[in-house]
Every structure is written in structure tokens, then in C-alpha cells.
Amino acid sequence: MEALLTIPVWLLCAVIFALRVADVTLGTMRTISIVKGHITPAMVLGFFELLIWITAISQVITRLSESWWLALAYASGFAVGNGVGLTVERWTANGAAVVRIMSAVGGSEIADRLRRDGYLVTSFAGDGGGAPMTLVYAMAPRRRARQIIEMSREVDPDLVYVVDPAHETNGSPQLRLRPVPHATGWRAAFKKK
């Protein structure tokens, strides 16, 4: 910390920006871990997130009178950190997803193809505003949702799809998910009697 007190303001701005990007990225990952019920990763991420945050904010408060660029670096790091955190989360794509596909022409073929590739699939007939429609629900690891959509579009380029995260499953060995053991966040307040 002593070394940070003597570095030039322009370099301190860069350090604060980098620290903020790191701590907000960790905060995003921590929040996602909490929502998914992963206790240990949430605790570890939270520890490092606050350690980095304290370092950054203490430097801004201590040396803000020298330059307002420190506040701008702090705020910019926060903004960029949100984007980096979401990008990292999408890149890791942990958990499971339910892909809902609505097809007017190739629903049965899509379902059969996905089953052959080992996905858990349920299909049924529906009504798409007066036209027959096949609805296909496929469950898979989140990182493979895009692959399901691409495979399905080869059969029906005009299909409609929705991808939802599967927050809780029956423990299918293919997915290796751990259901959230209890209510989290604001939902926990409403669960208490």
C-alpha cells in the first residue's frame, strides 16, 4: 500500500481502473455463484472481491484531492468490470439449460436428431395461432445450448427458440447439477415464517 502512495497519478488511475475491473468481475461471478447455490466459490470470490475493492477505494479517497481522474478511473473500472464479468460468465457457461424450440415444419425431425445425439428431449404438438406447431424441449449443459440451436436450424431455419437456465433438476447424471439447497437472496426473506 505504501508503494501506491508514491506512484504518479496517471499510473494510479490505471491501477485503480484494473483493480475495479477485477473486483466487479469477481462480484458478478460471486452473485452468480450465490444464485446457483455454490457456497464455497461464493465465499472465496467474495473475500478477494472485497480485498481488491478496499485497496482501490482507499487509494481514491486518499488521493482524490490530487486529481478527479482517480474518480473517473474508479467509475470506468466499475462499468467495464460489469461487461467483463458477464463475458466471463457466458464463457464458462456453468449449469444446465432448457432449450424450447417451436417449429412449424421440422419439429419431429429436430426432436429425433437431438435424441440421437444424447440430449434429453420432450416434444408435443401445439397450435401456433391457427397453424400446427411442434414444441421441442431439450435439456443439456448450458455450454451446449448454442449447439442445439444450430443443429435445429439445419432442419428448420425459421424456428423460434427460447433458452432458459435450469435452476433445479432431478439430478440427471448427464448434467451433474447441484440443486440450490435453500432459498437465496430476496426470496429467502419471504420463505421465513
pTM of the entire structure? 0.63
pLDDT of residue 184: 52
pLDDT of residue 179: 43
Per residue in 36-47, pLDDT (tens digit) is 778 999 999 999
CATH 3.40.50.720 fits 96-166, yes or no: no
Which helix (H) or strand (E) is 136 found in, with range?
A: strand 132-141
Statement: residue 190 has pLDDT above 60: no
Mean of the pLDDT values across residues 51-65?
Answer: 91
* 20 and 73 Cβ atoms separated by less than 8 Å: yes
pLDDT of residue 15: 94
pLDDT of residue 178: 39
Q: What is the SS3 assignment for 131? A: coil
Per residue in 66-109, pLDDT (tens digit) is 888 999 999 999 999 999 988 888 787 777 889 999 999 989 99
If you average pLDDT over every residue of the chain, what do you get? 84
**Cα–Cα distance, 57 to 177 (Å, whole number):** 37
